Amino acid sequence: MLLPGLGPHHRDRAGGSIEPRQNGSLQSMSGSDGYGASGDPISEAEALRRLRQTDDPSAQYYAAWWLGRNRSRHPEAVPLLQEALRQRRPRDPGAGVEENAVARNAARALGKLGSPAAAAIPDLLATLEDEDHGLREAAARALGDLRATAAVPALCRRLATGPGVAGAMQPGTPRLQEPCEALLEALGEIGVADLEVVAVIRPFVAHERPLIRSAACRALLQLTGDGHWGQQLVALLQHPQLQVRRAALMDLGAAGWRPALGPIAATLAENSLKLIALRGLVETTAAPEAERGLGAATEAVLAAMDALL
């Protein structure tokens, strides 16, 4: 599970972002990796213009992020992002923007645009076959965000070889063979609870990496509603590594598993993340119908949120 983003370089999985932003305008985008200079407040027209040109990839990179962050409804946004998704470039350390970074941000932005981006689902499916691991990862998350049921067979196919192959370490890199976390999360988000889908996800609950286990439990909790998987996630809230506790928080929030209220509030992690997780418990449609709106159960979550401010 990725964490809420700090600007155009990070992915926001939990419906909230913690980048500096106030009163509707971007006040500072100073990322840790040197794109801060392009982080000025711009208009939608300017974002479209920057994405359309191809001479300056870092301007395209920012523009793609901007259109997603601001949920652009402009009719040109999706076609331009589809175009940017096809843009490939060799790694050039002097250019300021990494290999395929524009395409990755285009995929992420499409995921944020909701139903108007449905036209781009075939493009994202094609991107899921790209040889660039990071691009497959971004495409998988976008397909999950768009609840693209058409993507389920391809997502399953990428995971079908299980933890031993798809989930094996890529020699010499911190990556696995496939972007398993993103693929698993996408299957959970899309919500097709077929037995075959569950069978593909299931072996990953025993993956050696706790972040992969967390993603698998989250997807199974979303698909089956079986509290056993929620309990596994709650156990990960006690993990000695902060990174794992953070991931489990986000995953419980995304699944909206109400029994996790107490454990989430008590987790040793930043309040910002606990608040995002608890927001998930309030808002997710997976919560029983009777508990939505302003019932006592919702009030209990809100009280826990109040205490974390």
Q: Which residues bind another protein (CB under 8 A)?
A: 15-18, 20-25, 27-28, 242, 268-272, 275-276, 279, 282-283, 293-294, 298-299, 302, 305-306, 309
Is 22 or 115 the residue whose CB approaches another protein more closely? 22
- Helices assigned H by DSSP within the chain: 44-52, 57-69, 77-85, 101-112, 121-127, 133-145, 152-159, 162-165, 180-190, 195-201, 210-224, 227-236, 242-255, 261-266, 271-283, 296-308
- Nearer Cβ to another protein (183/305): 305
Instruction: Yes or no: say if 219 and 185 are a contact pair by the CB < 8 Å rule.
Output: yes
**Least distance in angstroms from the C-beta of 155 to another protein:** 27
In angstroms, give the least distance from the CB of 269 to another protein: 6
* Minimum distance of another protein from residue 271's CB (angstroms): 7
* Residues facing residue 169 across a β-bridge: 176
The nearer residue to another protein, 192 or 302, going by C-beta atoms, is: 302
* Shortest Cβ 188–another protein spacing (Å): 21
Nearer to another protein, 17 or 72 (CB): 17
Question: 149: which DSSP letter?
Answer: G
Give the length of the chain.
309
The residue among 99, 90, 143 whose CA lies nearest residue 121 is: 143
CB of 268 to another protein, least distance (A): 5
Between 169 and 303, whose beta carbon lies closer to another protein? 303
CA distance 229 to 282: 19
